[in-house]
Structure 1
Amino acid sequence: MQSILQKATGIGPTPVHPENLNGRVAVVTGGAFGIGYEISRALAHAGCRVIMVNRKAEQGDDAIAAIRKETPSAEVEWQECDMGNLSQVRSVFGKLRETIPRLDFLVLSAGINTNQYGVDADGIDRHFGVNYLGQFYVCNQLWPVLRKTSKMADGATPPPRVVFEASEMHRTAPSNVHFESLDEINNPELGPTELYGRTKLALILLAKYGLAGKVIKQNSDRIYAVSVHPGAVNTAMQQQWKDAYPGITGQLLTWAMLAFGRDVEQGAYSALWALTSPKIEEQEMNGWYFSDPDTPGKETSQASDPKLGSALWDLSERLIKDKLGDDALVDWNASS
């Protein structure tokens, strides 16, 4: 619906179509499907080498074929990884860290929509594991190559950027979030919207107080980390409302999202703007949250709480070490 309105009236998110990204490298989690695919597609058409990471092989094959049909020379490839399996994340992204020569764009777009409570391969609430903790671990595993690339940056090649697909749904996070323990995370009493909203809150906090506030500032790295809201987007993920809320409620929510949401290309504009706009660097907008292209979002008090951001960081590192061992995390000060 929004795409039709935009064509007819010009109302809608500002279109973003990157150009001249030759020689740059991007990794996009969830990059072969939905919003992630549109981000991968736009970057590849602009000459960027794009590595898409998804759970399903058929999505990767289809995405590569579709992109190369439009741009035969596109440098696109695919890796398989389940973001809800920390061991897989370590294996896949650890290998990428050792093999890619540079990393200019890291897009964390993989995720599941609102759904019933359940746990992932590591015994962690699957919303938190897939939408947040797996993405945190991707950042850690690839941070050395981001730092390496930042030292290559010059006037012609801007510093690397990390963009998280957060959401205005962070407003639905439980009011009593503390990020203190796994027991708090694995709470089956929380509803589907609360579980989902908590992960989007976590992504905003990670960009603002984790990467930008803790790592980048302390290391004086020339790397930018931001989070964005894509809008309500017409993707297959909207069908998960039926699973989250069985019955007429779920059917109505699915219908509403599909009827009034943005198309998938529009849903990619916020991330593409955050990846390529010179304004991010010119105005030192590190850690910011954007609700649309060039539109700073209005965060909740939870998303603006540095103590909550610090607690989330500590819990994230603790959970990964508990699951994979004390040597699981790459030193945030390291360079490849």
Structure 2
Amino acid sequence: MQSILQQTTGLGPKPVQPDDLSGRVAVVVGGAFGIGFEISRALANAGCRVLMVNRKEEQGEDAKATIVAESPGASVEWHECDMGHLAQVREVFTSLREKEKRLDYLVLSAGINTNQYDLDKDGVDRHFGVNFLGQFYVVNLLWPLLRRTARMEGRPRPRVVFEASEMHRSAPGNVHFASLEEINDETLGPTERYGRTKLAMILFAKYGLAEGVIKENEDDILAVSVHPGAVNTAMQQQWKDAYPGITGKLLTWAMLAVGRDVKQGSYSALWALTSDKVQNGWYYNDPDQPGKESSQASDKNLGAALWDLSHRIVKEKLGDDALEDWKTCA
């Protein structure tokens, strides 16, 4: 619907198409499907080297073929990884860090929509593990490469962009990020679990990275979160799984009826990756439009609790040496 309105009236998100990005490198987690694919596509078509990371091989191969058909000279790769499997995250992204010489753009766009409760391979609520914790670990593992890139002479400022959502307002009101037991609360509804992961993204970008790591270490790196809008992707079908029966069907219909097309959904992230107006740690709900976070997303203490819990869970699952030192890694 919004794509039709934009074509007929000019209303809707302002289109964003990057110009020449030759020589730059991007890692797009979730980059072979949905919004992530449109981000990968736009970056690759502008000459950026793009490394897409997804769980399903068929998505990766199809995404590569589409991009290369459009831009025969495009440099694009696909790597398999399940964000709900921390050991695999460590293996894949450590390898990428060691292989690549620079990293200009890191996009965290992987995730599952509202769905039924389940645990990932690490015994963590699947929503939290896939949508946030695995991508938190990706940022940590790639931080040395981002930092090295930031120190290169004449380079653009590296950027980390999280695909968050206005759905962060649906996080449970009593969220504390105090323990894994709290995260694995089966009594929460699908929308609450999903909203909590988007809240975590905003808090991590703002308090964990921008105010913590970047400011304290004087890193010349940008970290922001964005809202893509309600987008007509296949993920909207998951409402039927989250809410079986007529409720799920109606929610799916409503989201598809009012949603943006997938290309429009990529504009916020593409703007955040390339605009000179971006402010560190901010949350944007459209290109060049700062969002109004919920009170939870503006809670520094909640951000600190999330930071501590994320580190504790990764160390519990993989060992005390699993994480890169945010202060000294390079």
Task: Compute the TM-score of the two structures, normalised by the length of structure 1.
Answer: 0.97
Q: 2:308 aligns with which of 306, 310, 314?
A: 314
1:290 is aligned to 284
Write the mapping of 1:188-267 to structure 2, written as runs, cut at 5 A.
188-267=186-265
Residue segments in structure 2 that go unaligned for 5+ positions in a row: none
Residue by residue, what CA displacement relative to the aligned partner does 1:186-242 show, whole Å, maximum 9, x if unpaired?
Answer: 000000000000000000000000011110011000000000000000000000000
Tell me if 1:60 matches 2:54. Answer: no
Taking the aligned partners of 1:151 and 1:198, their CA distance within structure 2 comes to 34
Residues in 1 aligned to 2:189 and 2:108: alpha-carbon distance in whole angstroms: 24
1:333 and 2:314 aligned: no
On the 8 A contact 1:53/1:80 being kept in 2, the answer is yes
Q: Please say if residues 148 and 335 of structure 1, whose CA atoms lie closer than 8 Å, have aligned partners that are also in contact.
A: no
> What amino acid maps onto 1:9 in structure 2?
T
Q: Per the alignment, do residues 308 and 194 of structure 1 end up closer, same or farther by CA in structure 2, a change over 3 Å counting?
A: same
Q: Aligned match of 2:161 in 160, 163, 174?
A: 163
Q: Which residue of 1 aligns with 2:48?
A: 48
Q: Deviations over 1:268-293 (max 9, x none)?
A: 0000000000112xxxx100000000
Counterpart amino acid of residue 229 in structure 2: G
Gaps of 5+ in 1: none
How far apart are 1:331 and its partner, in Å?
Answer: 1.1
Whether the aligned pair in 2 keeps the contact of 1:144 and 1:333 (CA below 8 Å) is no
Identity %: 74
- The residue aligned with 1:174 is 172
Partner of 2:8: 8
In the TM superposition, residue 114 of structure 1 has moved relative to its aligned partner by 0.3
Distance 1:10 1:233 in 2: 18
Indicate the residue corresponding to 1:303 in structure 2: 297
In structure 1, the partner of 2:146 is 146
- Following TM superposition, where does structure 1 have runs of at least 4 consecutive aligned residues deviating by more than 4 angstroms? none
Q: Deviations over 1:231-278 (max 9, x none)?
A: 000000000000000000000111111111000000000000000001
1:153 to 1:109, Cα distance in 2 relative to 1, 3 A: farther
Of 144-153 and 264-273, more deviation after overlay is shown by 144-153
Aligned equivalents of 1:187 and 1:335: distance in 2?
Answer: 35
Q: CA deviation at 1:334?
A: 3.5
- Superposed displacement of residue 333, structure 1: 2.3
Partners of 1:153 and 1:141 lie apart in 2 by: 23
Normalising by structure 2, we get a TM-score of 0.99
Q: Say whether the 8 Å CA contact 1:153–1:159 is kept in structure 2.
A: no
Compared CA separation, residues 153 and 35, structure 1 to 2 (3 A): farther
**What secondary structure sits across from 1:300 in the alignment?**
coil
Partners in 2 of 1:103 and 1:332 — Cα distance? Answer: 17
Counterpart in the other structure of 1:278: 276
Counterparts of 1:272 and 1:95, CA distance in 2: 26
Q: Hey, what does 1:73 align to over in structure 2?
A: 73
Question: How far did 1:153 drift?
Answer: 4.8
Count the aligned residue pairs: 330
